[in-house]
A and B are shown apart, each in its own frame.
Chain A
Amino acid sequence: MLAEVSRREDRHERTRAELAEQTRVGEALVRGLVRAQLALALRLSLVVLIGLGGLPWLFAIAPAVGRVTVLGVKLPWLLLGVASFPFLIGVGWAYVRLAERNEQDFTDLVQRPER
């Protein structure tokens, strides 16, 4: 049992050393993680770019959308003054969850016992 633990520790140490010493394996692992995190950040930026960034353009080309009244308030006021904030928080929440999952995947990969 003790031997088992120490062997796992050894493997763990070796992978960490590979990362720290910039071996080709370690380098590839880090590149993969950076690419995954960047892709995630860019995808969520695209969501905001379309969801919020598209609004001025939409109001400009389709003025009728801007005149729609919901609950006695003009739609642009509701979208910008109220709805945009929960939307931003929601995107942020999704990012934190997904970014932590990417990191967990990376940690699992590094500490995977059967290597």
Chain B
Amino acid sequence: MENGLVIPAIVAVTLLTVGIGFWGLRLARTTSDFLVASRAVSPTWNAAAIGGEYLSAASFLGVAGLILKYGVDVLWYPVGFAAGYLALLLFVAAPLRRSGAFTLPDFCELRLGSRRLRILATAFVIFIGWLYLVPQLQGAGLTLATVTGSAYPVGAVLVAVVVTANVALGGMRAITFVQAFQYWLKLTALAVPAIFLALQWQADARPAVTPPDGPTFRTAISVVVEHPATLTFPDGEVRGVRAGETVVFQAGDPVPEVAGVTIDAADWLLPSTAGADDRGLFATYSLILATFLGTMGLPHVLVRFYTNPDGAAARRTTLVVLALVGVFYLLPTIYGVLGRIYTPQLLVTGQTDAVVVLLPEAALGHGTTGRLLAALVAAGAFAAFLSTSSGLLTSVAGVISTDVLGRGSVRGFRLATVIAGVVPAILALNVSGLDVSQVVGLAFAVAASSFCPLLVLGIWWRGLTDLGAAAGVLVGGGAAIAAVLVTVVGPPLHGWPATLVAQPAAWTVPLAFAVTVLVSAASRRRVPADVGATMLRLHAPDTLRL
């Protein structure tokens, strides 16, 4: 299953990314150009750039993998990832742009005039940025290992080096062009193979996605087991397999059930029902809350709004982003569903994240079409790693250069980029056992529990004080971070504690809002004297030019 086209495709994407980066560099003349793209970026370019930056490894690979494994219940991931932009549009976009804040720490200082709150926000921006960068680099390592057989660190280090160099040398203007290009590449890389896959499914006389006797293998295949597991065959035979063991299946053989991985066809096809599992419903609502409200708190999303000329443009840009992202999220479902038919072996190995990369050749065969489409998908996956890590790195580096190093110069920004890139690279090399989609979900939960209350209350409520904001971020964000740490390094939990820790947003977000409001109300005398002027600046229409 060696495909000689995959490596050239990945190299081409990387070179194009760097090439467009340098093209942008030639255009960037002054420091102001360099850092905020002169605000001369058109709304369509800017929207495509925001979309390109946002659609990460979790969107490109993870969503389809989750759908293959869990079915209809995880469709809330793509819906929530898109709906996050609606929440951003309704509550944050225009006022944030009018505030003139470039980063979240800037917003804290502008709105509440507190240096200490600014430092706290800086710490959270860096934490969320790194928490989100690690799974991107891991995804790159795992994908390159899947499609080319290279060692895991190769992909992770390659992406880290390319992205760090590009951000350090090109700055934000270059990144805007790169990101816009990446959006269209990612959309094409999923859409074109999806059309071929749908046609192939038609040509195969539309095999059932959930046949009454369970999924079967269409071709003979040998599966190498990575982790010890218990396989249950439909005839009732139970067999334990060891790591490294090879299991051979013939065409037409039923797919065995793997304890803890496979769920039965009815659960896959139908939403969770009441009574049987209240925890499922809680987890669903928690996921909805984290994704709907977490997007506005992601550092690389907010930094983009500064490149809009005014508040009205920020609103229109966000609407275009919502449309672009919405179109993209129609596609992963197709891969997840067709994966049940063409790559059922992933249900046995549990490596469902590989479905997008493996499906074209599994369905269309190893002929020229299949190999070309597989190369295209691999290129798209690489675009996803490169673009999201670039955006994250730009914003983390921006915060480090202004708030930690205390310099606004281009050289300071470059130094900060290297610092911001090295740390997650080292982390990614040392923790390879984390689940990509889950870590991304936790980053959303931390963002929703820390920055969402700060932004929403800061923009709409005059009564917010620096003490209230700090308490909300510390308690809500702190609780979410504690949940992340328990999930990643803590002991395995069962029942309700496991659900509350794995999907914390449903209790940490209300907690953060409640603490912020109560502490602000108790420290009413600390409301900034200029809150009226700030509100006017945030909400007065751009045309008045006050």
Contact = CB atoms under 8 A, between A and B. Distances in A.
Contacts of B274: 60-61, 63
Given A16-B544, A44-B90, A92-B318, A30 B76 contact: no
Contact of B82 (A59, A88, A95, A107): A88
B91 A57 contact: no
Interface in B302-331: 312, 315-316, 318-319, 322-323, 326-327, 329-330
A31 to B, nearest CB: 8
B536 A95 contact: no
Given A20-B546, A30-B539, A107-B541, A56 B75 contact: no
Interface in B70-101: 72, 75-76, 78-79, 82-83, 85-87, 89-91, 94
Nearest to A103: B541
Interface residues of A, number: 50
A75 B532 CA distance: 49
Contact of A60 (B75, B271, B329, B533): B271
Interface in A37-76: 37-38, 41, 44-45, 48, 52-53, 55-57, 59-61, 63, 66-67, 74, 76
Contacts of A91: 86
B271 A66 contact: yes
Interface in A62-109: 63, 66-67, 74, 76-77, 80-82, 84-86, 88-89, 91-93, 95-96, 99-100, 103-104, 106-107
Contact of A74 (B78, B91, B269): B269
B326 A85 contact: yes
Contacts of A25: none
Contacts of B91: 41
A99 B330 CA distance: 28
Nearest to A44: B90
A30 B90 CA distance: 18
B304 to A, nearest CB: 17
Interface string B85-122: 11101110010000000000000000000000000000
A56 B285 contact: yes
B536 A20 contact: yes
Contacts of B94: 99
Given A95-B89, A106-B541, A107-B541, A80 B316 contact: no
A22 B281 contact: no
Interface in B280-307: 281, 284-285, 288
A54 B274 CA distance: 14
A76 B76 CA distance: 11
Given A59-B271, A60-B271, A107-B541, A88 B326 contact: yes
A89 B326 contact: yes
Chain B contact patch, size range: 35 or more
Main SS at interface, chain A = helix
A16 B86 contact: no
A56 B89 CA distance: 24
Contacts of B83: 48, 52, 84, 88
A10 interface: no
Task: Describe B's contact surface by its main secondary structure.
Answer: helix
A80 B82 CA distance: 12
Interface string B529-546: 000110110011101101
Nearest to A15: B544
B84 to A, nearest CB: 10
Contacts of A103: 312, 541, 543
B271 to A, nearest CB: 4
B333 interface: yes
A107 B543 contact: yes
B156 to A, nearest CB: 32
B202 interface: no
Nearest to B321: A92
B539 A63 contact: no
B541 A74 contact: no
A27 interface: yes
Contacts of B430: none
A95 B546 contact: no
B540 A19 contact: yes
A52 B326 CA distance: 15
Interface string A20-34: 101000110011011
B319 A92 contact: yes
A45 B90 contact: yes
Contacts of A74: 72, 269-270
Given A63-B270, A81-B75, A107 B544 contact: yes
Given A34-B460, A37-B539, A80-B75, A56 B319 contact: no
B30 interface: no
Contact of A53 (B75, B288, B318, B535): B288
For the complex of A and B, list the 5 residue pairs with the smallest distance between their C-beta atoms, beginning with the closest: A85-B326, A59-B271, A103-B541, A80-B75, A60-B274
27 contacts: A16-B544, A19-B544, A20-B536, A22-B532, A30-B539, A34-B460, A41-B91, A52-B79, A56-B281, A56-B288, A57-B281, A59-B272, A63-B270, A63-B273, A63-B274, A66-B273, A67-B270, A76-B72, A81-B75, A85-B79, A85-B326, A88-B83, A89-B322, A95-B86, A103-B543, A107-B543, A107-B544
